[in-house]
Chains A and B, each alone.
Chain A
């Protein structure tokens, strides 16, 4: 089978190197309910290396009503085994195995079991079990995704100390063209094109970047080195550009490169700044103390920092690509080469810093490849870093963020989803107290609502958010669904989890930085960093 054909549509999203990372990923799933099997289904289709399901349950009739990856002939048989077989059918390249044991029991008897995995996806665990698993995964450096589908509510929470992203692939990128402060090679190239003597056909095919750089230079000469800063000045700058257009008897010829120059004129006075996310990463203490154990990412951030302070004079290494511009092939390619050469030179300077940092830390100075440094420099502007608090920090009274919870409950756009977050936690406490989920029996739904509400209020008081309000309507809805795992809600949560898993495994795009609540009543989501 030709893998590049099978995985073509995914490779167009995460590239061949992303696919390689997926094909090396070993994923562990705890509990094979629909939330878990749907998450795994999407990853098996994408081509992970292997999966292991941990589940001690037997297949029940209710499982057949909400889980597509179980079969009726397995009724009363092992849920882990049946789900494993159904999932393996989806992709013959993916290996699957199972452990028929309850997750809690395995966590207690053999915590080292989890060490072998790239990622653990834990579904439908109580807060206590989830908190214990979080400790185990953090000890072993294994990434953890916690999922829950509960009636019309979904929950997703990644947990690991730190996730570093080089390729965050933002939706829109800014063009770093350096038009007002060209380096010598760019300045020389811009000078070499003489508008006045160019033939009409050449004149109308000079790339707009060159036109803007020439206009910027002339403007700066006439204004004591300053750039256009007020609205009238900026209008005058555009008029200057237009005055260079060829015309016949005062009627300007149609020159698309000039139209582009006018509409891109802001690139002269508003060059891209260092984004706030990157500023925070550069200021992070992890970049100040590079040791033999520092991840490559931090070595390169430290090198980047030195570059910005020294060679870059405050600027990032040049990214090197330029947008398409109306231009002749030759001039466009020449301009492209000027930018690429500068990007290569900047990357080489960053590389030199990286080598000396590695050496000082007692590592092989060549242990980060030239191509990795180039890759890092190309994406440097959009670096991302995500850190998650441990589940214990989030839930324990001494460290939980009661004020953040209180304000989320008070804000109109997050009140309902913050309430659902509280109610999921309250439902777990309800279970611990009464050994059943609220609403388990038709006859007790109303009574359970009152009990759940008092659990929620007790939780709020413990968190330092006493007096914050959780709506009775939502208390009622949480009881109504009695911890049922609806297929569609599970499918949404499992699929969001698969997206997050792919982001964590490929180190591309940015994962959710907190707890995600999916509200299937209102079709909304919120992310909370409590």
Chain B
């Protein structure tokens, strides 16, 4: 039995018409009922952002929340992951988090489950670029375009993403085919700085150089039979003591155990307040996306709390050539170009090549060149010209599959001109 008046404040927003709302907003009790019963939301990650997201979603009226997280609870999570207690250390994050939410907010079901298609919205609480790229390709894999190159809205799987570091964070909305996907804006994630090996081996100058030396050079040399495990205290202490010895040898100061852990595990400082800001912003956007009760974020919000409070809300733009979310990257070839030349060209393309390691190519239901079991059967196609393999009078879209891609990259062939990808 739902407690009368429980959702009073939320109902103001969902049952009254407003002046600043999303397209097609129809206020009414049905929206709340849809949130409670019909809408399914997936939360990926039950860590710092995930704990906040689960609470925020449940208190924003979402009744069916699934959560995925393979990780277990660590003591160092307790400074921010408020659904966990000291006694939970070692248990599954997803299980403990969903149990705590259901205990506090009756009527909410949360379960650790997977497969993505059934969800109306996917909310990401992740800490790595790789995991984000994976989820991005999953969400974009559902996307289909109509003949005019417009996204088929029934195939759009929207996502909300957040991230934090210290006092800074971001929230963003990803609507495949409408707003940029992760691949469109990869430049937002700066590459990690890596020290040159010769600096580590010959001219160390900082405590971090000594720590990296112990981990990268000494470990494989002195403990070739052990796989280094950053979560094993004995391993971490070994690296620390070796780094300390190296620093002493060179007269470098400042190697501490805390720094050793930070360098080796690439620890990103994470605090409760920033996670809470970002997760609440993400939840608000999920609520707007599903109900249209207010205007949605377009499409990226940055939060910087180090010098006063500074936020920047900005509409990033899609990359027309994005191999993951565009209707197909236009690629120029000659009818006489062989399939092998085409594949080599794709591998060398500055935009496309980074997604490929050993691509397979198909055309509709026809396998043009496949890796693995079908390789021998399709190998002969490699030296055939394209004009023999596809109908060049038609709009030719090839599907490129690769182990680096979760879903196929779509290439639209344009005949004539010099080979290579082109502006659409």
A42 touches B206 (CB 8 A): no
B395 at the interface (CB under 8 A from A): no
A28 CB to closest chain B CB (Å) equals: 18
What are the residues of chain A within 8 A of B4 when measuring CB–CB? 61
Contacts known (A6-B79, A333-B205, A510-B306); A62 close to B271, Cβ less than 8 A: no
B12 at the interface (CB under 8 A from A): yes
A314 at the interface (CB under 8 A from B): no
What are the residues of chain B within 8 A of A171 when measuring CB–CB? 304, 306-307
A498 touches B284 (CB 8 A): no
B146 CB to closest chain A CB (Å) equals: 30
B284 touches A12 (CB 8 A): no
B379 CB to closest chain A CB (Å) equals: 43
Which single member of B3, B167, B276, B277 contacts A61 (CB below 8 Å)? B3
Q: How large is the interface on A (under 10, 10 to 19, 20 to 34, 35 or more residues)?
A: 35 or more
A68 CB to closest chain B CB (Å) equals: 5
Which of A284-292, A354-362, A468-476 binds B? A468-476
B59 touches A9 (CB 8 A): no
A199 at the interface (CB under 8 A from B): no
A169–B307 CA distance with the chains assembled, in angstroms? 9
**Residues of chain A in range 423-454 having any CB-CB distance to chain B below 8 Å:** 439, 442, 445
B305 at the interface (CB under 8 A from A): yes
B416 CB to closest chain A CB (Å) equals: 42
Contacts known (A65-B9, A324-B206, A495-B273); A45 close to B280, Cβ less than 8 A: no
B17: nearest chain-A partner, CB-CB: A480
Contacts known (A521-B295, A523-B171); A439 close to B59, Cβ less than 8 A: no
Which of A127-135, A235-243, A264-272, A485-493 binds B? A485-493
A482 touches B12 (CB 8 A): yes
A121–B274 CA distance with the chains assembled, in angstroms? 18
What are the residues of chain B within 8 A of A2 when measuring CB–CB? 75
A250 CB to closest chain B CB (Å) equals: 26
B86 touches A1 (CB 8 A): yes
Which single member of B56, B271, B307 contacts A9 (CB below 8 Å)? B271
A492 touches B281 (CB 8 A): yes
B10 touches A65 (CB 8 A): yes
Contacts known (A9-B270, A45-B272); A329 close to B12, Cβ less than 8 A: no
B191 at the interface (CB under 8 A from A): no
A113 at the interface (CB under 8 A from B): no
Contacts known (A9-B270, A42-B272, A482-B12); A329 close to B19, Cβ less than 8 A: no
A13–B206 CA distance with the chains assembled, in angstroms? 20
Total of A-B residue pairs, C-beta within 8 Å: 247
Which of A293-301, A305-313, A512-520 binds B? A512-520
Which single member of A46, A66, A90, A91 contacts B10 (CB below 8 Å)? A66
B263 CB to closest chain A CB (Å) equals: 12
Of the candidates B16, B301, B313, the one having the most CB atoms from chain A within 10 angstroms of its own CB is B16
A142 at the interface (CB under 8 A from B): no
B13: nearest chain-A partner, CB-CB: A481
A168–B305 CA distance with the chains assembled, in angstroms? 11
Binary contact readout B247-284 vs A (1 if CB under 8 angstroms, 0 otherwise): 00011100000100110000101111111110111011
B257: nearest chain-A partner, CB-CB: A4
Of the candidates B277, B283, B301, the one having the most CB atoms from chain A within 10 angstroms of its own CB is B277
A494 at the interface (CB under 8 A from B): yes
B interface residues, tally (CB under 8 Å): 75
A499 touches B104 (CB 8 A): no
Which single member of B203, B272, B285 contacts A205 (CB below 8 Å)? B203
A65 touches B79 (CB 8 A): no
B108 CB to closest chain A CB (Å) equals: 12
Binary contact readout B10-26 vs A (1 if CB under 8 angstroms, 0 otherwise): 10110011111000000
B297 at the interface (CB under 8 A from A): yes
A248 at the interface (CB under 8 A from B): no
B279 touches A491 (CB 8 A): yes
What are the residues of chain B within 8 A of A370 when measuring CB–CB? none
B13 touches A512 (CB 8 A): no
B276: nearest chain-A partner, CB-CB: A495
A333–B207 CA distance with the chains assembled, in angstroms? 12
What are the residues of chain B within 8 A of A399 when measuring CB–CB? none
Binary contact readout B103-131 vs A (1 if CB under 8 angstroms, 0 otherwise): 01110000000000000000000000000
A9–B269 CA distance with the chains assembled, in angstroms? 5
A528 CB to closest chain B CB (Å) equals: 12
B271 CB to closest chain A CB (Å) equals: 5
What are the residues of chain A within 8 A of B205 when measuring CB–CB? 324-325, 327, 329, 332-333
B68 at the interface (CB under 8 A from A): no
B18: nearest chain-A partner, CB-CB: A480
What are the residues of chain B within 8 A of A328 when measuring CB–CB? 203
A286 CB to closest chain B CB (Å) equals: 21
Contacts known (A13-B167, A89-B85, A480-B13); A525 close to B309, Cβ less than 8 A: yes
A64 touches B6 (CB 8 A): yes
A379–B263 CA distance with the chains assembled, in angstroms? 25
What are the residues of chain A within 8 A of B6 when measuring CB–CB? 61-62, 64-65
A494 touches B276 (CB 8 A): yes
Contacts known (A9-B270, A491-B52); A509 close to B295, Cβ less than 8 A: no
Contacts known (A62-B8, A169-B306); A71 close to B60, Cβ less than 8 A: no
Contacts known (A8-B76, A152-B294); A524 close to B258, Cβ less than 8 A: no
**Residues of chain B in range 29-53 having any CB-CB distance to chain A below 8 Å:** 52
A511 touches B308 (CB 8 A): yes
B79 touches A513 (CB 8 A): no
A495 touches B82 (CB 8 A): no
Binary contact readout B165-179 vs A (1 if CB under 8 angstroms, 0 otherwise): 011000100000000
What are the residues of chain A within 8 A of B75 when measuring CB–CB? 1-2, 5-6
Contacts known (A442-B16, A484-B8); A90 close to B294, Cβ less than 8 A: no
What are the residues of chain A within 8 A of B16 when measuring CB–CB? 439, 442, 445, 480
A267–B412 CA distance with the chains assembled, in angstroms? 50
A325–B6 CA distance with the chains assembled, in angstroms? 61
B5 at the interface (CB under 8 A from A): yes
B80 at the interface (CB under 8 A from A): yes
**Residues of chain B in range 348-379 having any CB-CB distance to chain A below 8 Å:** none
A444 CB to closest chain B CB (Å) equals: 12
B316 at the interface (CB under 8 A from A): no
What are the residues of chain B within 8 A of A326 when measuring CB–CB? 199
**Residues of chain B in range 75-109 having any CB-CB distance to chain A below 8 Å:** 75-76, 78-80, 82, 85-86, 104-106
B55: nearest chain-A partner, CB-CB: A68
A65–B277 CA distance with the chains assembled, in angstroms? 19
A516: nearest chain-B partner, CB-CB: B309
Of the candidates B85, B104, B301, B307, the one having the most CB atoms from chain A within 10 angstroms of its own CB is B307
A12 touches B267 (CB 8 A): yes
A188 at the interface (CB under 8 A from B): no
Contacts known (A64-B3, A65-B59, A477-B19); A151 close to B287, Cβ less than 8 A: no
B305 touches A62 (CB 8 A): no
A66–B11 CA distance with the chains assembled, in angstroms? 11
A402 at the interface (CB under 8 A from B): no
What are the residues of chain B within 8 A of A170 when measuring CB–CB? 306-307
B158 at the interface (CB under 8 A from A): no
Contacts known (A45-B82, A491-B52); A12 close to B276, Cβ less than 8 A: no
A495 touches B277 (CB 8 A): yes
Of the candidates B206, B274, B287, B310, the one having the most CB atoms from chain A within 10 angstroms of its own CB is B274
25 contacts between A and B (CB under 8 A): A2-B75, A10-B269, A42-B273, A46-B79, A46-B272, A46-B273, A65-B5, A67-B59, A72-B3, A92-B86, A151-B13, A170-B307, A333-B205, A439-B12, A442-B16, A445-B16, A477-B18, A487-B10, A491-B52, A492-B281, A495-B273, A496-B277, A511-B308, A523-B281, A525-B309
- On B, residues with C-beta under 8 Å from A are 3-10, 12-13, 16-20, 52, 55-56, 59-60, 75-76, 78-80, 82, 85-86, 104-106, 166-167, 171, 199, 203-206, 250-252, 258, 261-262, 267, 269-277, 279-281, 283-285, 287, 294-295, 297, 301, 304-311, 313
